[in-house]
Amino acid sequence: MPQVILHRLFPIERRFVADDGATIGGYASTFGTVDSYGDRVMPGAFAASIAAHKAAGTMPAMLWQHDASEPIGVWQDIREDATGLVVRGQLNIETARGREAAALVRQGALSGLSIGFMVPDGGARYDRQTGNRILTAIDLWEISLVTFPANTAARLDGASVATRQAFEALLREVGFAKGAAAKLSRGGWPALQSSNSSTDNHKAARFLEKIEAAARALNERN
């Protein structure tokens, strides 16, 4: 019987905003949540797969809407915490789909993650009382950015995808010359991205939002 990769959709909870590579992150799966397929992932379900990827020097693919022909970046870190599967990676904004994904995430139009996986032998059991399938082991193949997550109540919290290029564009929009905007963005963006903490990254995103708002106000006056 051929193996079939299963796709499960979960909300992407933003933990990081982007640097020059459009870094995104969040939960690709949450433990104990019953999804629309009736599956419930348990803590430790990803442990063996994460260890196998680490040993092989690989990562699950980052895909656009589960299309294997359209990778849109790379996942750089995957791990379990008490809540679920935490992921962090970079969209490739040199590709058309990567730029599209970044723009849609920034707009809030793209807010879901979906995992593509197979269940190894012994990795699932059925709960007769609830009718749910309990997943205790998952062979993780890919994690996609998707439009429709199974949990429609949980969405991306409107955080922007912030990039150095966006910072430079906003500086030009408020009146800086091209050379000055480029120089300021090269020097200022690393300072804004001083660490990988979510607090600093969210501050950088909020800063860009304020510049964008100021640019809109200036344009309206003119």
Domain boundary among 114, 146, 178: 146
Domain boundary among 146, 174, 204: 146
Question: What local confidence, expressed as pLDDT, does residue 217 receive?
Answer: 63
- If you average pLDDT over residues 205-212, what whole number do you get? 60
Asked, for residue 156, whether it belongs to a domain, the answer is no
pLDDT tens-digit map of 59-105: 999 999 889 999 999 999 899 888 888 888 888 999 999 999 888 88
Per-residue pLDDT at 11 exceeds 60: no
> Looking at the structure, do residues 27 and 77 belong to the same domain, yes or no?
yes
> Looking at the structure, do residues 73 and 142 belong to the same domain, yes or no?
yes
Neighbours of 132 (CB within 10 A): 16
Domain boundary among 119, 146, 173: 146
91's enclosing H/E stretch is strand 84-91
| CB 87, CB 28: distance < 8 Å | yes
Asked, for residue 21, whether it belongs to a domain, the answer is yes
Asked, for residue 123, whether it belongs to a domain, the answer is yes
> Looking at the structure, do residues 12 and 64 belong to the same domain, yes or no?
yes
More confident residue, 12 or 145: 145
Per-residue pLDDT at 214 exceeds 70: no
pLDDT tens-digit map of 171-192: 776 677 888 877 877 776 666 5
Range of the domain at 197: 164-221
Cα–Cα separations (whole angstroms), residue 138 to 52, 74, 204: 12, 20, 36
> Looking at the structure, do residues 128 and 192 belong to the same domain, yes or no?
no
> Looking at the structure, do residues 142 and 185 belong to the same domain, yes or no?
no
> Looking at the structure, do residues 132 and 217 belong to the same domain, yes or no?
no
> Looking at the structure, do residues 79 and 168 belong to the same domain, yes or no?
no
- pTM of the predicted model as reported, rounded to 2 decimal places: 0.65
Number of domains in the chain: 2
Of 24, 169, 41, nearest in space to 110 by CA: 24
pLDDT tens-digit map of 130-150: 999 999 999 999 998 888 766
pLDDT tens-digit map of 24-44: 877 888 888 888 888 888 999
